[in-house]
Structure 1
Amino acid sequence: MRVVKAQYQTALLPEHRENPLIEALPAKLQDDELIEGLRFYPDCSAEEREKEAFERVEYLTRLKELRQPQLVHLDVFRAVERALKEGYSTKNPHSPTTMNYLHYSLDERPEIEPRTGFFKPRGSGITVIGESGVGKTSMLEQVLGYFPDVIVHEESSTGLLPLRQVVWLKVDCPDDSSVKGLCHRILEELDRKLGVNPTKPASTIALLISQIEAKIKSSFLGILVIDEMQNLNLAKSGGSDRLLGFLHNLVNNLGIPLLFCANPPFDELLSKSLKAARRAESGGYFDVNLLGQRNGEWELFVEELWELQWTNVVTPLTEALSNKLYELSVGNMDLAVRTFREAQQVIIGSLDERLTEEVLEKGASIAIRASKSARDELAHVKKLNLLKRKKKAKAERSEETKANSSKKAAVAAMDGKLVQIPGDLSRAHHPEFADMLTALQHADDLYEQIPDPDLIQRASEEDDPLDSLRKAGVFCEDPLKVFA
């Protein structure tokens, strides 16, 4: 647990300035600085490879410490950073609004409104969904680890401010989906972070909820992270609804941002309730998928993983070895690390410590046992997707797009880049037409640019409409030839 003394810096947004809860948060980083802070590459030296076999085996535990950020890491981090500031924006400790919020519940507050107005919650929901082993929990540890657990305020730019600010709290969802069980976990974790003696839980659910809400308020909790939310699917009838209702009340009444982390069954539960789904994705919805072999994600990961060899000879990474490890792990980072670890453990101390495809298969047979059926199912789905025939037109457009991209830059309304949004028919999606479509979209004399506005209407009344359009020169029978 990281407890730091508040160090204030001027907030970027004017509306956040002189709010010590926001100005005490770590400084906002550029993407390259953020990536540097999220990544971690364990040491692996030539000297270590020269040690005795029984010693080198011990170093294999470092493999689990490898952290290679992917694009989704940046997106989740920015969502958490945004949610923290948004939630704190209405809880300035120096504001009469916050004093009213701290002392009264929503149902019990007096009718006399503070001069700065009544408290208006600004909490949001973030959902992270992904298969087991794809790195959701380690990603959250990396993201949350950037922020201190607790910030101790003694004085701010506007005067004394003795309080402990709990920036984030992470608990696991109870297996029985009980509100009582979750409240107990939140209460225990809050006491631990605040450094106080354990609080005796109230005897009834209603009193327990009030107790939790008061504790959350006084600790200025920034974001509540709940892992293993797929446990809701195992609950008795109605349990999941009650738990989600309790959590959404924290957002609606206290303005506490929530982050749900779960395996895929959780998204099915959310889809059954529009209200729950809307609230859970209001701050961002992120799918953490298996690493893609064709988009560079797998290559980025496996190159760093392959550096961590404690064998007495270093085996260079080849395309065949990379493909074999991907085939065995189906792009699951956890399975890949375990396979690579067991493969090394098998050969360290042997006469031949080279890594081969067969050695990787042996490592997989040891590392992947209980999860083999799930791994095989994922591999089966991947192969089915590969067998699907790609449409000819789609392939041709892809090749044409690649050829055109090197010849001219994509065009947007303000000379920016072409952004393709699937389903958005209001913008250009094809680079070859982007110039003309953008010019037409923003033209002031659009009607004047149409030489014959009644052409289509007249053609529809002809016996052969296509022949009429062909003679007018607006019907293109061979677009590949014309636009080549």
Structure 2
Amino acid sequence: MEKNKITPILKGKIEMAEYKQQDLIEYTDNPFIEALPPIFSEDEILDQFTRYPIIDDIEKTKNRNLRHHMIKRIKNFIQPLPDHFTIEGKLSTIIRRGYLARNPLDKTYFERLKILNDVQSVKQEEREGALNRNMEHIRSTADSLSIIGISGIGKTTAIERLLLMYPQIIKHEEYNGNPLSRTQIVWLKIDCPYDGNLATLCKSFFKAIDDLLGTRYLEKYGYLNRITSSMMLHMTSLASIYGIGVLVIDEIQHLINAKNDSDEMLNFFVTLTNTVGIPTVLIGTFKALKIFKRDFRQARRAGSEGNIIWDRMTKNSDEWNFFIETLWEFQWLKNKTELTHEMKEFFYDECQGITSVAVNLFILAQERALNTDKEKITKQIINKASKEDLHMIQPMIKALRNNNRNQIMKYEDISINLDDITFKHKNSLQLAGKIKEMAKNEEKLFKLKRNNTAENLIIDVNTLGIFDRLTENELENLIRKTVDKFGVDDDYNLIKSEVIKKALQLNDKKKETENKVNNELYEDKDLRNIYEISQKKKLHVYEILKENGYIKNPVEEFLKVE
């Protein structure tokens, strides 16, 4: 397997441990839990999850070529819906409860590490039995969650956004005055390989930890030892050593494509939660339900915290109305199209309540309208964008629109077999109403606007790639402080210019400090000091060496020769 076949991992923040007082007694005296952010309230989830594109009325008067780029901002649109609050609540629970049996202050934590280390010395064929015998007296508290839904509904976007609300790595040095040297990985997200190969999944796990910590576990365990069961054992050890709070595995429907027995891979998930207590979140399309129904034990373990069946939004539902009403506000056309009940229903028929289809269709419709004289979204433009620009998915949309079971079953990513669904997640109308109420609250709206401006700036400024001395955390803190000094309706580009100006100043300041430290470390004629001088004066090292007498003038030396 080539390295480039491993999907790049999602990366979050790195923090030093700050321990917080816990409201629940079972969560106290556990450094892994106390270092986590406090349990999020619904208000905090709304603030942190929401992402709206920046739009200014003056931008609608700009040239068409500029507005074509502005319209693309809609791709960053994330609207919190009841499903997101439900998933966050379950994620918050399984992370904390997974740490109950893995308290680094408890003797059972070290027993686990010792058992795992001892088992590695046992013969290959005897390892699984030895592991089960030795670990059976240590109770697991880990739960797992399955999120199954139609392709494009926003499962991956939602889980990634929720994970990023937590730091990914927490470094522990001291707890209550006592030394505690631990590196805690709060969450780890990997994708199931397209071919469903178990060995590739194991290697993705090692590669993910290497990318985060700068280790070489992929080389040590992934390439030198190609026996899958051994790699699984090393995964278990690393998950315990680094206190992984939750392992998220996306695209699990790829297990259907596996040449190996897919039951073997799901059996690994069961072993992971049973023996080490690592919570897992499995994400996939409805195709994945075929895997779970094969064995009751696997189905139960794959959804001990509940199976969330995430279906598309239904027509005329509060969820759909709230989503499309919010999205519809982001128009960069000279003539705004009002969202009537008739237009809502027409747009729904073209996207069938699938989040990603709705967002992309809205972008494409605006781009087409931008090239017309009226610059206005019409039914004809929406229909043309749907049929021509999204022609690849038209058979699926048609099957869903007509509710044709036979046709739907041809597209396994969108099929819903009612016989397979053991738990149907229902939208909370009460929660949807609360989101509307929050969004209308003036104070909340101001906070939401500031956060949204900061989120967009973080993306824009990071992509510049010119702040080589600033960490992501430093840049984010600078951006949020700068945004807070401006008014909520101030021009986005004005704020962006100020952020870039301050970031450049801070970047140069750090660079000068580093150069000063380096110069103080080196003597005047130290070659490293001479190199630093050449960089500062923007001269070639040869010139500085010559200036300091290290290189003689070749002409003068030649004339001296007798």
TM-score bracket, normalised by the shorter chain, equals: 0.7 to 0.9
Q: Aligned to 1:44, which of 41, 47, 55?
A: 55
2:32 to 21, 25, 46: 21
Report the AA paired with residue 249 of structure 2: I
What are the superposed Cα offsets for residues 302-358 of structure 1, whole Å, 9 maximum, x if unpaired?
011111111122222111221111010011111111111111111214311011111
Shift in CA distance, 18/314, structure 1 to aligned 2, threshold 3 Å: same
Q: Which deviates further from its counterpart, 155-164 or 331-340?
A: 155-164
* Equivalent residue number for residue 203 of structure 2: 184
Structure 2 counterpart of 1:213:
236
- In 2, Cα distance between equivalents of 1:197 and 1:280: 30
Greater shift after overlay, 318-327 or 150-159?
A: 150-159
Deviates more, 1:358-367 or 1:191-200: 191-200
SS at match of 2:248: strand
Q: Does the alignment pair 1:174 with 2:174?
A: no
Instruction: Point out the more displaced range, 312-321 or 226-235.
Output: 312-321
Where structure 2 has 5 or more consecutive residues not aligned to the other structure, the ranges are 1-10, 121-129, 131-135, 407-562
Structure 1 position 6 matched with structure 2 position 29: no
Does structure 2 retain, via aligned residues, the 8 Å contact 1:167–1:220?
A: yes
- Counterpart of 1:330 in structure 2 is 352
In the alignment, does 2:95 pair up with 1:95? no
Instruction: Tell whether 2:325 aligns with 1:306.
Output: no
Q: CA deviation at 1:194?
A: 2.1
Alpha-carbon offset, residue 76 of structure 1: 0.8
* Bigger proportion of residues as helix: 2
CA contact (8 A) 1:128 1:285 kept: yes
Q: In structure 2, what residue type is equivalent to 1:329?
A: C
Q: Distance in 1 between matches of 2:201 and 2:364?
A: 37
Please say if residues 129 and 263 of structure 1, whose CA atoms lie closer than 8 Å, have aligned partners that are also in contact.
Answer: yes
Give the whole-Å Cα distance in 2 for the aligned partners of 1:160 and 1:318. Answer: 63
Q: Which amino acid aligns with 2:396?
A: A
Q: Verify the 8 A CA contact 2:199 2:226 in the aligned structure 1.
A: no
8 Å Cα contact 2:74-2:330 kept in structure 1:
yes
- Does residue 33 (structure 1) correspond to residue 44 (structure 2)? The answer is yes
For 1:55-454, list aligned pairs within 5 A.
55-105=66-116, 108=119, 119-157=138-176, 159-197=178-216, 199-200=218-219, 201=222, 202-236=225-259, 239-381=261-403
Is the Cα contact below 8 Å between 2:343 and 2:379 reproduced in 1?
Answer: yes
Residues 210 and 216 of structure 2 are in contact (CA less than 8 Å); yes or no, is this contact kept in structure 1? yes
Q: CA deviation at 1:198?
A: 5.2
1:95: Cα distance to partner?
Answer: 1.3
Q: Provide the C-alpha distance between the structure 2 equivalents of 1:367 and 1:169, rounded to a whole number of angstroms.
A: 36
Q: Give the Cα–Cα distance (whole angstroms) in 2 for the partners of residues 257 and 367 of structure 1.
A: 41
Which whole-Å CA distance do the structure 1 matches of 2:69 and 2:362 have between them? 14
Shift of 1:69: 1.4
One-letter amino acid of the counterpart of residue 219, structure 1: Y
RMSD: 2.1
- Report the Cα distance in structure 1 between the residues aligned to 2:118 and 2:300, rounded to whole angstroms: 25
CA contact (8 A) 2:102 2:277 kept: no
**For the Cα contact (< 8 Å) 2:145–2:281, is it kept in 1?**
yes
In the other structure, the counterpart of 2:451 is none
SS in 1 for 2:183: strand
Is this contact kept in 2: 1:98–1:119, CA < 8 A?
Answer: no
Q: How far, CA to CA, are the matches of 1:338 and 1:108 in structure 2?
A: 51
Aligned residue in 1 for 2:460: none
Letter in 2 for 1:367: D
Q: TM-score normalized by structure 1? A: 0.74
CA drift of 1:28 comes to 1.1
What secondary structure, in the 3-state scheme, does the structure 2 residue paired with 1:64 have?
A: helix
Structure 1 moving runs of 4+ over 6 Å: none
Q: Which residue type is aligned with residue 90 of structure 1?
A: A
1:452 corresponds to which residue?
Answer: none
How far has the Cα of 1:169 moved from its partner? 0.8
What SS does structure 2 have at the residue aligned with 1:97? Answer: helix
Residue-pair matches, total? 377
Distance in 2 (alpha carbons) for counterparts of 1:120 and 1:246: 18
Query: 2:334·2:375 contact (CA, 8 Å) conserved in 1?
Result: yes
**How far has the Cα of 1:205 moved from its partner?**
2.0
How many angstroms apart in 2 are the aligned matches of 1:374 and 1:383? Answer: 11
| Contact persistence 1:44–1:307 (CA under 8 A) | no
- Mapped contact 1:250–1:256 kept (Cα < 8 A): yes
Question: Is this contact kept in 1: 2:203–2:218, CA < 8 A?
Answer: no
Q: Distance in 2 between matches of 1:254 and 1:91?
A: 8
How far is 1:263 from its partner? 0.4
Question: What are structure 1's unaligned runs of at least 5 residues?
Answer: 112-116, 385-484
8 Å CA contact 1:150–1:165 kept in 2: the answer is: yes
Tell whether the 8 Å contact from 1:100 to 1:118 is kept in structure 2 after alignment: no
Worse-superposed segment, 66-75 or 32-41: 32-41
Give the conservation status (yes or no) of the 8 Å contact 1:176–1:239: no
SS at match of 1:25: coil
1:135-166 deviation digits (Å, cap 9, x = unpaired): 11111112111111111112222522122111
Provide the rounded CA distance (Å) in 1 between the counterparts of 2:321 and 2:36: 35
Tell me how far apart the structure 2 counterparts of residues 11 and 76 of structure 1 sit (CA, whole Å): 22
CA distance in 2, matches of 1:304, 1:130: 23
- The within-5 A match list for 1:457-472 is none
Distance 1:273 1:84, change over 3 A: same
Post-superposition shift, 1:197? 4.0
Question: Residue by residue, what CA displacement relative to the aligned partner does 1:405-447 show, whole Å, maximum 9, x if unpaired?
Answer: xxxxxxxxxxxxxxxxxxxxxxxxxxxxxxxxxxxxxxxxxxx
Give the secondary-structure state (helix, strand or coil) at the position aligned to 2:392. coil
Counterpart amino acid of residue 189 in structure 1: A
The structural deviation recorded for 1:106 is 9.3
Following superposition, the deviation at residue 32 of structure 1 comes to 2.5
Kept after mapping to 2: 8 A contact 1:4/1:148: yes
- Cα distance between partner residues in 1 of 2:367 and 2:250: 32
